[in-house]
Amino acid sequence: MLSDKQLLRYNRQLLLPEFDIAGQERLLAARVLIVGLGGLGCPAALYLGAAGVGELLLADGDHVELGNLQRQVAHGERDIGANKARSAVEAVSALNQEIKAEAIETRLTSAAMGALVSRVDLVLDATDNYPARFALNRACIAAGVPLLSAAAVRTEGQLALFDPARGGPCYRCLYTESGEKTALSCSESGVLAPLVGVIGSLLAMEAVKVLTGFGVTLRGKLLVMDLRTMDIRQLALAPRQDCPDCAHLNP
């Protein structure tokens, strides 16, 4: 049962017929892990906190630098030198004190990932390197938890939902470890600030859909876009029969 304060806070969402009170109650009961509180994780965390996700676990072992502030909107100049997860928790809590936001202020080992993933209903991959993404993928498969993964560089971004326990491919079906060294980074290739805001907001939107059953999700699809030309496409993804991470789920 929503309180009067919650009915007022979330009333614009409650007006949506397919969302309604039931959708808001699902959000308030949900637990989400966001790994990476940089350009993608910041807007995702802020919007999920504002929308009323009941518990957010925010994980990042890095510290805020001046060069982050061009695009990492949960951090400000006063946060330079602070841990990114802690800074993001403070920003989310300033938006919505009713939800629980917890900072994990270390780089996650595979074992730590497994323990955290087992606590949540959904994981958002907002990291910037393949080893972390592969480890998250394996942890989510082991726990049967959906993984939303996004990437952004230059003016290009992509987003996909990986949920092989309920059908479809995993992250490693799309990217093999042999391609690890081909990844582009913002520090080497650059990125326009609004791009990560767009992709990070889409991460939050897709998370709301997954958690509440609202709309149509990106399960089995890859959303790709180039905001320089506004070219936006969806590509169908299929499980790899020889995938070392999820092939056992698709005999």
Q: Is pLDDT of 178 > 90?
A: no
Which pLDDT does position 181 carry in this prediction?
Answer: 53
223 contacts 150 by C-beta, under 8 angstroms: no
Helix axes 193-212, 41-51, angle to 10 degrees: 40
Q: Is pLDDT of 11 > 80?
A: yes
Tens of pLDDT, residue by residue over 76-95, are: 999 999 999 999 999 999 99
Name the pLDDT band for 57 (thresholds 50, 70, 90): very high
Q: Are strands 231-236 and 221-226 parallel, antiparallel or unpaired?
A: antiparallel
Which pLDDT does position 183 carry in this prediction?
Answer: 54
Name the pLDDT band for 180 (thresholds 50, 70, 90): low
Which pLDDT does position 179 carry in this prediction?
Answer: 53
Q: Is pLDDT of 188 > 90?
A: no
Percentage of the chain beyond pLDDT 90 is 88
Which pLDDT does position 186 carry in this prediction?
Answer: 57
Name the pLDDT band for 110 (thresholds 50, 70, 90): confident
Q: Is pLDDT of 133 > 90?
A: yes
Tens of pLDDT, residue by residue over 195-239, are: 999 999 999 999 999 999 999 999 999 999 999 999 999 999 999
CA distances from 173 to 9, 16, 149 (A): 40, 35, 13
Chain-centroid distance of CA 49 in Å reads 12
DSSP 179: G
Q: pTM to 2 decimals? A: 0.94
- Regarding the domain with residue range 4-249, which homologous superfamily does it belong to in the CATH classification? NAD(P)-binding Rossmann-like Domain (3.40.50.720)
Chain-centroid distance of CA 188 in Å reads 23
Name the pLDDT band for 189 (thresholds 50, 70, 90): confident
Name the pLDDT band for 251 (thresholds 50, 70, 90): low
Which pLDDT does position 148 carry in this prediction?
Answer: 98
165 contacts 144 by C-beta, under 8 angstroms: yes
Which strands sit side by side in the sheet containing 55-59, from one edge to the other? Answer: 100-104, 55-59, 31-35, 122-125, 147-153, 156-162, 221-226, 231-236
C-alpha–C-alpha distance, residues 243 and 183, integer Å: 20
